[in-house]
């Protein structure tokens, strides 16, 4: 029987993933790889980053929960400004990582959720806070950023 807090966090992750995937699926292919400014990630990179970072965030959860994990944490590529993947590929990747995260979270006990996150995080967070702020929050932050980029790109088209 899953812990109620774990169920709630898993549900929130599922909804955050669904919201992001729905947004990705709405992005016009012509805007997908465009950047709203110099040295600013495109929408494609922003969305792909969520999927890539989910592996790192899940690594924190696994490590803190006591699972065996590779000693090196997953690397995140940040230099590229656009993704080579299509919107459908990134949406599928986000959905797969969300499913992985949901299964991981739903399996956590109350005791695991109360552990201090490893490696130590700012403010000495408990694992439940890390899941909420770092994993779920990451989806939301980048969804909002993609929405802002869509508005900026739409505005630039109107002005052009």
pLDDT bracket for residue 159 (50, 70, 90): low
Q: How far is CA 139 from CA 20, 21, 53, 146, 159, in A?
A: 7, 10, 10, 11, 30
Residue 107 has pLDDT above 70, yes or no: yes
Q: Which CATH number belongs to the domain containing residue 29 in this structure? A: 1.20.120.450
Range of the domain at 103: 4-159
Residue 32 has pLDDT above 70, yes or no: yes
Rounded CA separation 129/20 (Å): 21
DSSP letters, 51-69, are HHHHHHHHHHHHHHHT---
Tell me: the pLDDT tens digits for 48-87? 999 999 999 999 999 999 999 999 999 999 999 999 999 9
The tally of domains found in the chain comes to: 1
Q: State the number of CA atoms in the 13 A half-sphere of 6 facing the CB.
A: 19
Residue 25 has pLDDT above 90, yes or no: yes
Residue with tokens 């993704």: 83
């Amino acid at each position: 029987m899953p812990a109620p807090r774990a169920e709630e966090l898993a549900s929130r992750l599922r909804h955050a993933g669904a919201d992001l995937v729905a947004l990705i699926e709405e992005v016009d292919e012509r805007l997908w790889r465009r950047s709203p400014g110099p040295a600013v990630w495109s929408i494609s990179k922003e969305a792909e980053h969520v999927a890539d970072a989910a592996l790192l965030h899940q690594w924190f959860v696994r490590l803190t929960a006591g699972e065996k994990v590779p000693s090196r944490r997953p690397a995140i590529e940040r230099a590229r400004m656009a993704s080579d993947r299509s919107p459908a590929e990134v949406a599928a990747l986000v959905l797969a990582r969300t499913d992985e995260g949901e299964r991981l979270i739903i399996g956590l006990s109350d005791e695991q959720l109360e552990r201090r996150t490893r490696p130590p995080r700012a403010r000495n967070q408990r694992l439940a806070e890390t899941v909420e702020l770092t994993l779920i929050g990451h989806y939301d932050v980048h969804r909002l950023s993609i929405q802002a980029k869509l508005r900026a790109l739409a505005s630039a088209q109107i002005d052009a």
